[in-house]
Structure 1
């Protein structure tokens, strides 16, 4: 195959996949609505089953539902008839995914589920199949053809199944009012979790709190900045309100202006009204403020009193950037 043939084959695959997704719009109907409402009203879980590539899709949909507030579990169709049926409880809604809807394992599984009396939702690619006829609700994922040149390997059909599952999950999220705070509860680990729950105070509390009074002389300012190792010192009042900030840059600019530094105090070189952020603000908000003002640190306040410093390096270390 030369490069033009490879590119042509890839583009055809993408086009067929896109058609399989856009074709689902015709199947978002009353059955789809009923499936969403049945799952939302259920006191149990969503048990999703399939075999072959459909089983892999089922596992992905289960993961999406669990992470978005709808309890779900995966049951392989072949294992189900060898003991795993015990995971289905009385109030569970069962979704069986199958392109043909007529495989031996699916037929056996469906008949057993019907005996249990659970609501059965069939996600099918053949509206005349056994699964379609036995299902209480049908989620139609029929595609015109697979991207496979032999029209055999599941490609467009599994894409359609995946997208239908995502549509189901998103509708359930919106119906339940599942928001970013809820999402954070189920995603506490990794960078995504940190962006959702990490607050400014979680980072600033680990830092030193360099502070000087307005009357502090130059030596006291430099000693405080060096001792606390943040390259900055916050000028505070006797009541701990923030008056200004002194950075390494402020010191360099001061040195450029003159030679007599004996009478200089903190209030003479500080930058008044520094950028501040509340300790309970999200870390991502701190990042936005730093970027917008092209600075590397923010003064953290709690109840309008000085509470610490959050530095760009803190955000880098936690992977927020």
Structure 2
């Protein structure tokens, strides 16, 4: 399992961006800010009374500012993390965060970077746009939001719209991005990025596979929640070190099955496949990777698995636990 050194930060500013989105500025107490580039995120630990919780949030600023900046939407349907940040965290509060990690880097290309964002999925693109403007590289943004309460960074985005760099769609008025047209208009060296609701991500993926036939390496997806469990077969997991064999049902994660059937303690901060703390060596079997942490090379190698969200393609897996 991967153990991460956590960073103690202090909340030094809270800005209201919309009726339900706040921006939090976090400064490391020791003054040492790890380097990061656009597309990075941090995992914030939230001390909820009912249970531990950790959420991943995109960094919307440049590391040169010496702070972490995140934008958080108050989501009534969440596990409680966004509500805690909106209602219980104030200036002076201290938060433990992971070092920055980047699962959503800008590709190395001479073509355009074409961004498709929905709702709070705009956050990683704020840093990306600023980075590309500094480097002089080309980009285009398509941003869908529902009403003023979800349209964060409106002044910045309106300026980009006037400059011809952004198209904005208020779905409350019936406006929506035509993902088929967006994909069909990509040049051979353009890269496509999407972050937002699952329905938007799925629509872009379908269009990329059919309309534009975009190679997988040119499509970049960011999710900060695990994909819903799909109907599938139950399987068994053998724990090599403990000697235990556990049954994993079709509607639960490997981690949940381990916790239910053994007294083995596995560290996992996020339980969403984002933070990497539950990374476990895969000794035998083929994993169905559903995390947002491993890269494609790691997934193909089938040597490690994030047990909080990933499952088995084979009938059984053997783990180094």
| Fold match (TM-score > 0.5) | no
Higher relative contact order, structure no. (Cα contacts within 8 Å, ≥ 6 residues apart): 2
- Relative to its length, the structure with more helix (as a share) is 1
Larger radius of gyration, structure 1 or 2? Answer: 1
Structure with bigger strand share is 2
